[in-house]
Chains A and B, each alone.
Chain A
């Protein structure tokens, strides 16, 4: 592997990406809402989350999985609401960040490059197909993981500020979220990326790819619904298993995506 070429590809893709509003806006906006705005709502408008309607909250908590209810034993309804919301409800939502960041960057990198007619010059360089693919993968994966890590750090501060006011102690960092951030988030980023590799085979434009690729968040929504309806809840074991499943899906999608990532295939599609 020629790492200098891979770094050059990453540098190129990232320099281009930061100038595409269609890419950069969701990358900034989504973490901003999840990691700053939502904890701020809990902090400044507690009524919006916990104490506004304790009957609704009690009904909601009555529906969740018994294991999750056990985690909330001994807390007042307000405190239970904050823990439920900041720790458990936000867990699947957090995964949307690496998923979407890698997905949208990959859309720009794989499909946008073709749309801007810059791919052909790249194919004529003395890079191997593997180096080209590695450059494209890393240019989507690395920012997604970095945004997740930085987001987690920010969320730790903002969520703990909110938690301290209502519960009187910090909720983050905690083992569940550490596993989520270090094990599952990179796998979710991989899912956003590898699914886009497959979408890019058919998509003609960045917008096509972005819209189709966005469907990959549906499993996350199902996890969220599953947790609300009591089918499952985010404990360490589920999180470890979820990460494993995602890594396996990533490997399978990468295997199929790699099969279409040959110069001869790419140039024939131009």
Chain B
């Protein structure tokens, strides 16, 4: 992952008085799965449109695969594939027609069209319904068909805009597996727009978080968590009979702690990573035998809420004392 395939500099777009994207500075490396996170209307889709040369930026510039999207848009779009937020299928056409027509539009060599279409229909488990109208497909099937259409011309960069939005967990999982299969194995770069933080955590090497059109955080999920989530939850495993004494010792030391749901466990919340040794000392000094200390790694969800100044829901907490 060394060559940048997407570079955005001061990229921005305004619609009248509304700023959709502002001063976006971004680099995505080849082969990377990059997550672009943000709530609805944060500017994710607008960014995809600008990076593919179908929406003119009002400020700044971008290079995608070394091309200027607004100058070389046609050439660029023959090397990128975009899964739009809605499947954008012609529902009056069959699944096969949807792919065959787009194969012509994407300039797949004529003698390869049929084989490529069949390969994708088979790969996405749609071959049995290939000659049915797409309007009769389930939501998951439509999304798979749209994803297959995105891959017709073997794009170097895949832009996926909310690929699992509205799908049930099983269909969402299928889409995740297909993304991993068709990207990691084939070395595609993926630009994944989502507000599904679990999805981003699972799939992405790095993420950028958009808020009101501005990029407010950028890095790997782990790095962002370390940087932005300072209040960790730490599990302490002690002897079950020592729990009251341990809670008392921690509370006396100014630490917020609670008994865990499992016997012999204590949860310390709101702790900074560097405070963990002090908490261990408090317990050791109180004569508590410690069998395990496990800091719970913050998730992207924690990062997201930290950026928005909110507390994520705490789980696994039986009783809070201080």
A116 near B90 with CB under 8 A, answer yes
A126 near B105 with CB under 8 A, answer yes
A12 near B93 with CB under 8 A, answer yes
Which residues does chain B contribute within 8 Å of A4, judged by CB atoms? 104, 107, 110
A267 near B107 with CB under 8 A, answer no
Per-residue CB proximity of B96-136 to A under 8 Å, as 1/0? 01000110111100100000000000000000000000000
Q: A5-B107, A264-B54 are in contact. Are A125 and B89 (CB under 8 A)?
A: no
When chains A and B are docked, how far (Å) is the Cα of A144 from the Cα of B77? 32
B77 near A7 with CB under 8 A, answer no
In chain A between 108 and 125, which residues have their CB closer than 8 angstroms to a CB of chain B? 116-125
When chains A and B are docked, how far (Å) is the Cα of A8 from the Cα of B104? 6
The chain A residue sitting closest to B52, CB to CB, is A124
B74 near A12 with CB under 8 A, answer no
Which residues does chain B contribute within 8 Å of A124, judged by CB atoms? 52, 54, 77, 80-82, 84
Interface residues on B, range: 20 to 34
Which residues does chain B contribute within 8 Å of A122, judged by CB atoms? 105
Per-residue CB proximity of A234-270 to B under 8 Å, as 1/0? 0000000000000000000000000000011001100
B74 near A15 with CB under 8 A, answer no
When chains A and B are docked, how far (Å) is the Cα of A125 from the Cα of B93? 18
Per-residue CB proximity of A1-27 to B under 8 Å, as 1/0? 010110111011001100110000000
Nearest-Cβ distance from residue A204 to partner chain B, whole angstroms: 17
Which residues does chain B contribute within 8 Å of A117, judged by CB atoms? 86, 88
The chain B residue sitting closest to A113, CB to CB, is B90
A16 near B54 with CB under 8 A, answer no
A127 within 8 A of B: yes
Q: Which of B74, B86, B92 contacts A20 (CB 8 A)?
A: B92
Q: Which of B53, B84, B93, B110 contacts A120 (CB 8 A)?
A: B84
B106 near A121 with CB under 8 A, answer no
B144 within 8 A of A: no
Which residues does chain A contribute within 8 Å of B214, judged by CB atoms? none
In chain B between 187 and 218, which residues have their CB closer than 8 angstroms to a CB of chain A? none
The chain A residue sitting closest to B85, CB to CB, is A120
Q: Which of A9, A118, A127, A267 contacts B49 (CB 8 A)?
A: A267
A15 near B93 with CB under 8 A, answer yes
Those 5 A-B pairs whose CB atoms lie nearest each other, nearest first: A8-B104, A121-B88, A126-B78, A126-B77, A125-B105
Per-residue CB proximity of B18-45 to A under 8 Å, as 1/0? 0000000000000000000000000000
Nearest-Cβ distance from residue A48 to partner chain B, whole angstroms: 41
Which residues does chain A contribute within 8 Å of B77, judged by CB atoms? 124-126
Interface residues on A, range: 20 to 34
B97 near A15 with CB under 8 A, answer yes
A268 near B55 with CB under 8 A, answer yes
Nearest-Cβ distance from residue B164 to partner chain A, whole angstroms: 18
B73 within 8 A of A: yes
A8 near B54 with CB under 8 A, answer no
Which residues does chain A contribute within 8 Å of B291, judged by CB atoms? none
A128 within 8 A of B: yes
B91 within 8 A of A: yes
Nearest-Cβ distance from residue B16 to partner chain A, whole angstroms: 10
When chains A and B are docked, how far (Å) is the Cα of A264 from the Cα of B97? 27
Q: A16-B90, A20-B92 are in contact. List 18 more A-B contacts (CB 8 A).
A: A4-B104, A7-B104, A11-B101, A12-B90, A118-B88, A120-B84, A120-B86, A123-B54, A124-B52, A124-B81, A124-B82, A125-B106, A126-B77, A126-B78, A126-B105, A126-B107, A263-B53, A263-B73
In chain B between 50 and 75, which residues have their CB closer than 8 angstroms to a CB of chain A? 52-56, 73-75
Which residues does chain B contribute within 8 Å of A264, judged by CB atoms? 54-56
Per-residue CB proximity of A80-123 to B under 8 Å, as 1/0? 00000000000000000000000000000000000011111111
Nearest-Cβ distance from residue A25 to partner chain B, whole angstroms: 16
Nearest-Cβ distance from residue B113 to partner chain A, whole angstroms: 10
Q: A120-B84, A126-B77, A264-B55 are in contact. Are A9 and B90 (CB under 8 A)?
A: no
The chain B residue sitting closest to A119, CB to CB, is B88
Which residues does chain A contribute within 8 Å of B88, judged by CB atoms? 117-121
Q: A124-B77, A128-B74, A267-B49 are in contact. Are A8 and B105 (CB under 8 A)?
A: yes
Nearest-Cβ distance from residue A123 to partner chain B, whole angstroms: 5
Of B91, B105, B146, which is in contact with the most chain A CB atoms at under 10 Å from its CB? B105
Which residues does chain A contribute within 8 Å of B82, judged by CB atoms? 121, 124
When chains A and B are docked, how far (Å) is the Cα of A2 from the Cα of B105? 9
Q: Which of B56, B74, B101 contacts A126 (CB 8 A)?
A: B74
Which residues does chain B contribute within 8 Å of A5, judged by CB atoms? 104-105, 107
Which residues does chain B contribute within 8 Å of A16, judged by CB atoms? 90, 92-93
Which residues does chain A contribute within 8 Å of B110, judged by CB atoms? 4
B84 near A8 with CB under 8 A, answer no
B90 near A2 with CB under 8 A, answer no
Nearest-Cβ distance from residue A113 to partner chain B, whole angstroms: 9
Nearest-Cβ distance from residue B203 to partner chain A, whole angstroms: 21
Q: A126-B75, A263-B73, A264-B54 are in contact. Are A12 and B101 (CB under 8 A)?
A: yes
